[in-house]
Amino acid sequence: MTRETKYLFLAITTNLLVAFLIFYVIVDFSLSEITNFIADFLLNLLVGISGFYLTGYYIGNALAKCKRIRISYGFLSAFLILLIGTVAGSTVGFIQEGLPAPAQHHYSLIENITDYYFKPLFWVYFFGFIPTLVLGIVLGLYLERKPGSKELNYDRE
């Protein structure tokens, strides 16, 4: 596993914890209500979180091949990971409930796409935007440095 992938995994884990804490504080659910929420969407969450780490693995390997890493790579990578992981998790719900619903409940496909893709993307970015931005910038700064050095890495090979 490359150095870049390790940093991305650390950023993903930290981002998930911070977003969960923000969700817990803002929504003001009891711990049992949050446990029920997680139980209801367990498969979606597992696929989404797996999507985060799988995307992070491939982006980390791609960043390892870059000659020069900039700060912008850090937050762009973090937001791309957030996007792909959220779409992966949303796809599970869409396939389970969104595709059969138009035939059963007279919902349109557009309404289901909105419910299963755009709404989750809104909420994930609502709770995760600030942590992702901050951690992405910090990630970019760490990746910009040479391994074991405090100086910035402008001539990476």
Question: Around Cβ 34, how many Cβ atoms within 10 Å?
Answer: 14
Say how far apart CA 63 and CA 150 lie, in whole Å.
19
pTM for this one? 0.81
| One-character DSSP codes across 68-115 | S--HHHHHHHHHHHHHHHHHHHHHHHIIIIITTHHHHH---HHHHHII
Q: Is residue 149 part of a domain?
A: no
How confident is the model over 41-78, as pLDDT tens digits? 899 889 999 999 999 999 988 888 887 777 888 888 88
Label residue 27 by pLDDT band (50, 70, 90).
confident
Residues 50-63 as b or e (16 or more Cβ within 10 Å = b): ebbbebbbebbeeb
Nearest Cα neighbor of 59 from 96, 5, 7, 106 is: 5
Question: How many domains does the chain contain in total?
Answer: 1
For residue 146, is pLDDT > 70?
no
Please check whether residue 8 is in contact with residue 77, taking contact to mean a CB–CB distance below 8 angstroms.
Answer: yes
Q: Is residue 87 part of a domain?
A: yes
Q: Is residue 155 part of a domain?
A: no
* Highest mean pLDDT pick, 6-10, 20-24, 35-39, 95-99: 6-10
Q: Is residue 154 part of a domain?
A: no
Q: Is residue 152 part of a domain?
A: no
Q: Is residue 77 part of a domain?
A: yes
Say how far apart CA 115 and CA 135 lie, in whole Å.
28
Please check whether residue 27 is in contact with residue 117, taking contact to mean a CB–CB distance below 8 angstroms.
Answer: no
Q: Domain of 115?
A: 3-144
Q: Is residue 150 part of a domain?
A: no
pLDDT, residue 157, reads: 45
pLDDT, residue 148, reads: 54
Lowest model confidence (mean pLDDT) among 12-21, 84-93, 103-112, 133-142: 103-112
Q: Is residue 156 part of a domain?
A: no
How confident is the model over 91-123, as pLDDT tens digits? 998 888 877 665 666 667 788 888 889 998 998
Percent of the chain whose pLDDT exceeds 90: 21
Average pLDDT, the chain: 82
